[in-house]
Amino acid sequence: MPRAQRASTPLSIAPNAAQLDLELPAELPRLAIAPEWKDQQRLWGHSFHPMCSYLASFPAALAHAFIARWSRPGDVVLDPFSGRGTTPLQACAEGRIGVGNDLNPFAYLLSSAKVEPATPAEARTRLTALRLRWASEGAAWLALSLRLLAAPGPGGALVPAAGSLASPVDGVEPVPLEVALAFHPRTFAQLLFVRTVLRLDDRVDRFLAAGLTGILHGKSASYLSEVMPNTFSMARGYVRDFVARTDFHSPERDVFGCLDRKLTRLYRQPLPASTGIALLGDARDAGVRTRTALRARGLPDRARLVVTSPPYLRVVKYGYYNWMRAWLLGEDPAAIDAALDDAHHRTAYLQFMREVLDGLRPALADDAVVVLVVGDVERDRGRHLIGGVGLAEKVWAEAALPAGYRLAGVALDDVAAGRKMTKLWGDEAGRATKLDRILVLGATEAGRRRALSGAALPVDWDWPPRRLRAL
């Protein structure tokens, strides 16, 4: 069926009763929402979405399915686990105020670059200034790069800290051997320079840094190193073995040229219609911080919609799998993993979710709708994970219900085997989320009613939407 025709089809799913009994305990009502987001093209949505890959992110079209139903332009849409910023960006692109919160500094960088972006003129002016400075300082950075490559790893030359604005002689920290092995000496020198002079407390520099994380490694000429794919960083041991086994020498890539082309891809569409807010912090107190941040900007201070996917049970280590991007940003991958709530067993996880849902309350409108995309995790590194299956039902019964939420229903998003996490780790790892269950809650009875009445609304899948094109 052609896309336009499909898009105008009103939503209806006749729940298959037999299937329903098998998949859900009888008391959880199924919400009749067709997973139309799966029918959209891979890059559906704003051109900022693919800024950088991020593990376990959901597609922009999924966020749209709920933003379109349960919010209006001007409303606040919140994601307390915003990851790479899919929900807040899509909300801003649709004229809502998108607010994203995450405890991972890499996620914060991506979310903030998307919802408070640099304009094309700002980004290109800054990039030109960096090029000019490189023209005068590049020789010293290249000398440092060559010294490092002559004796890489611990005991070798030291480099300035990320964001320290220091000169190449003010070295304070070693560079991991595997970083040095991954790049051409000149690309490496440019990266050392850019990493030192970009200021992550500056909106324009954040945008450039976020774009850089997206082109750091990948298997084409758009990327600065081809040593590994762009989805995530391979283990450091893998990089060492790969380099030794294949006598890998990265082709020279000009950081400024590659970043310039990345900007062209990002700015393919006009900037999002509204500006949003990105926050760095724990989801458990995201409600209070969100409200404070909204008030400080004179904006409506309560969200009418939350669309989020909480961390799954023990699936992803965001620091470990992004160690090279973390190096670029001056972050410690182990510290990221120690801080995030990705390592809980079920009981602790449910307690965590209870605290998150309690903590959201201060930022929720009375009739707020809360959409939780919960992955069922069947196995962890090949071992059966007790309590993984049926997680959404547990989240409802042991976290949302006691926190006073009202259940509108559960929508199912059947993730075809091999499509999502398995694609990243390979089947043998068995770390697949088999089925996403989408819990739709009301903050109060008013929210539940709004969720039920909005569920049947048809959603327009044209992108960009006609009414936003004139903006």
Ligand X SMILES: C[S@@+](CC[C@H](N)C(=O)[O-])C[C@H]1O[C@@H](n2cnc3c(N)ncnc32)[C@H](O)[C@@H]1O
State the residues that interact with ligand X by CB under 6 A.
54, 56-58, 81, 83-84, 86, 102-104, 107, 282-283, 309, 311, 318, 340-342
The two tokens of residue 335 are 């510290």
- CB closer to ligand X, 59 vs 409: 59
- CB closer to ligand X, 200 vs 283: 283
- CB closer to ligand X, 107 vs 118: 107
Containing 235, the helix (H) or strand (E) segment is: none
In angstroms, what is the minimal distance from the CB of 48 to ligand X? Answer: 12
In angstroms, what is the minimal distance from the CB of 72 to ligand X? Answer: 22
Say how many CA atoms lie within 13 Å of 461 toward its Cβ.
24
- CB closer to ligand X, 261 vs 344: 344
In angstroms, what is the minimal distance from the CB of 82 to ligand X? Answer: 6
In angstroms, what is the minimal distance from the CB of 307 to ligand X? Answer: 8
The Cα-based distances of 79 to 143, 369, 372 in angstroms read 45, 12, 10
The helix-helix angle for 255-266 and 203-215 (nearest 10°) equals: 100
In angstroms, what is the minimal distance from the CB of 135 to ligand X? Answer: 37
- Tell me if 349 sits within 8 A of 359, measured CB to CB: no
In angstroms, what is the minimal distance from the CB of 65 to ligand X? Answer: 13
Residue 293 — φ and ψ, nearest 5°? -65, -40
CA distance 88 to 294: 14
Partners of 134 in beta bridges: none
- Tell me if 70 sits within 8 A of 454, measured CB to CB: yes
Residue 311 — φ and ψ, nearest 5°? -60, 140
73: three-class secondary structure by DSSP: coil
The Cα-based distances of 39 to 3, 11, 91, 410, 452 in angstroms read 8, 13, 20, 20, 23
- CB closer to ligand X, 149 vs 400: 400
ω into 402 cis (within 30 of 0):
no
In angstroms, what is the minimal distance from the CB of 114 to ligand X? Answer: 10
- CB closer to ligand X, 83 vs 442: 83
- CB closer to ligand X, 318 vs 323: 318
- CB closer to ligand X, 56 vs 350: 56
Q: Using CB positions, name the residue nearest to ligand X.
A: 83
DSSP secondary structure letter of residue 437: E
In angstroms, what is the minimal distance from the CB of 27 to ligand X? Answer: 27
Helix ranges (H only) for 297-395 are 323-329, 333-339, 346-360, 391-395
